[in-house]
Structure 1
Amino acid sequence: MKYLIVGLGNIGPEYELTRHNIGFLALDKLADDKGVVFEHSKLANKTEFKHKGRTIHLIKPTTYMNKSGKAVNYWMKELKIPIENILIILDDIALPHGKLRMRAKGSDAGHNGLKDINQSLGGNNYARLKFGIGNNYHKGQQADYVLSNFSKDQLNDIPERLDKVADMILSFCSIGTQNTMNKYNE
């Protein structure tokens, strides 16, 4: 069994610790835990590892957030991974900071990365793991907010939250979306 785990974010050091890059941070944490290193490949930085007899492919698209679908679609076809074995990790302003929520499918809720993935895959029938980043911004400042760095207080609890994200990813690959939702959703 093969799985494709996609962390959404933007490439470049100026985006490294921004709220919008939580997907990249989550996959960096999991890769570090598993002792694997990302390598530049077509449309993404990619690595893989084995877990309980499954091959888990991690990608961080290098297409920037708004064109994430191109990388997801390419690697899904290249690796011959069915849509039910895809999990997208992303930020969500509708959830309080640090809150984690997995969904089996759903709308893009205004998230440009998901919007592009929906268009590329022809639907929204794939699992996603949302990491709450809160919505502490003034009207019209959403783009600035998601592209700004986490506050010092928020950074303090990120490692513990990323540990839980890693557990949820491995759970998704082992016991599926519904069981993982039942076990971990907050």
Structure 2
Amino acid sequence: MQYLLAGLGNPGTQYEHTRHNAGFMVLDHAARQWGAEWKAWQNMGVYAKVSVAGCEVFLLKPSTYMNESGRAVSSLARFYKIPPQNCLVCFDDVSLNVGKLRIRKNGSAGGQKGMKSVIEQLGTQDIARLRVGIGPKPEKFDLANFVLSNFPKADAPLLEEALNHAVEALEIFFKDGIEKAMNRFN
């Protein structure tokens, strides 16, 4: 079976370690563990093809900036004929504390503009997602400035643990399904 695993973030070294790039961080972590090699995808990002638990999985990191992520996701999904129910999107969530994960089968974008773009481009909310906690946002901090800020060094152990758990959750998703992954990590 084929799957598309997309990580959302912003391209460029200036955004590499920002909170908003948590989705890219998950994919980079998974790619290292799974021996993936990145290749260009139609001037819209980079992708890799790996085998995980007997499934053919296309990893994708859009280079279209967060708000246009859906263009790259829908392009690759259409090209390889991967239906939305076989897509899983990883992205940051300011409402979850650093180190926390939430997996859902479907739902709204919850204010996350990259996920909103994916939903619009694929034409459905029936898309699995893995949200990675980047919060909490300080009360008087501007949201845009917060998500585009780097994680503080004090959060490094929590972030590393979250990335390890995220890859483990993805492996369970591909091997045993979303219910098992949700039961284990939510």
Aligned to 2:26: 26
Structure 2 alignment gaps of length 5 or more: none
Which residue is equivalent to 1:141? 142
C-alpha distance in structure 2 between counterparts of 1:140 and 1:160, whole Å: 26
**In 1, distance between residues paired with 2:160 and 2:112?**
24
**Distance change >3 Å, CA 3–CA 24, structure 1 → 2:** same
Aligned to 1:96: 97
Q: Distance in 2 between matches of 1:75 and 1:134?
A: 31
How far has the Cα of 1:140 moved from its partner?
Answer: 6.2
Aligned residues: 185
Who is 1:66 aligned against?
Answer: 67
**TM superposition score normalised by structure 2:** 0.95
Tell me the residue number matched to 1:109: 110
The amino acid of 1:60's aligned partner reads K
Identical aligned residues as a percent: 39
Say yes or no: does 1:35 pair with 2:63: no
Unaligned runs of 5+ in 1: none
User: 2 CA distance for matches of 1:163 and 1:78?
Assistant: 30
Instruction: Give the Cα–Cα distance (whole angstroms) in 2 for the partners of residues 179 and 156 of structure 1.
Output: 25
Root mean square deviation, CA, Å? 1.2
Deviation at residue 54 of structure 1 after TM alignment: 1.1
Q: Does 1:50 align with 2:51?
A: yes
Q: How does 1:74-93 map to 2 (within 5 A)?
A: 74-93=75-94
Amino acid of the residue matched to residue 127 of structure 1?
A
Cα distance in 1 for partners of 2:2, 2:154 equals 37
Report if the CA contact (8 A) 2:23-2:90 is conserved.
Answer: yes
